[in-house]
Amino acid sequence: MGNGDRRGPGGPSSPSGIELVGLGVYLAAVVVVPLIAGLRIDAAFNSGPLGLGLGLILGIVAGFAGVYVRFRRYL
């Protein structure tokens, strides 16, 4: 058994390094993609920071939801 195989009665006690790296990539993508889409919508419709704000809010909400779904077994 290696360090990453520590398991309690309910399953793994903490996420592995690979899971944490995946989480970082996921959070970066889920925030940046809607943010860029919002900027493009602002440029296309000349709508000021409205698209940027909506994209940022959408990305943050999606990020929190994704982190909760992926890591609720560790809570």
Q: Which of 25, 11, 33, 19 is nearest to 70 (CA)?
A: 19
Tens digits of per-residue pLDDT, 17-75?
999 999 999 999 999 999 999 999 999 999 889 999 999 999 999 999 999 999 898 88
Tens digits of per-residue pLDDT, 4-26?
555 555 567 889 999 999 999 99
Domain boundary assignment for the chain: 15-74
Backbone dihedral region of 46: left (phi > 0), alpha (psi from -120 to 50 degrees) or beta? left
Give the pTM: 0.75
Judge contact between 42 and 52, C-beta under 8 A. yes
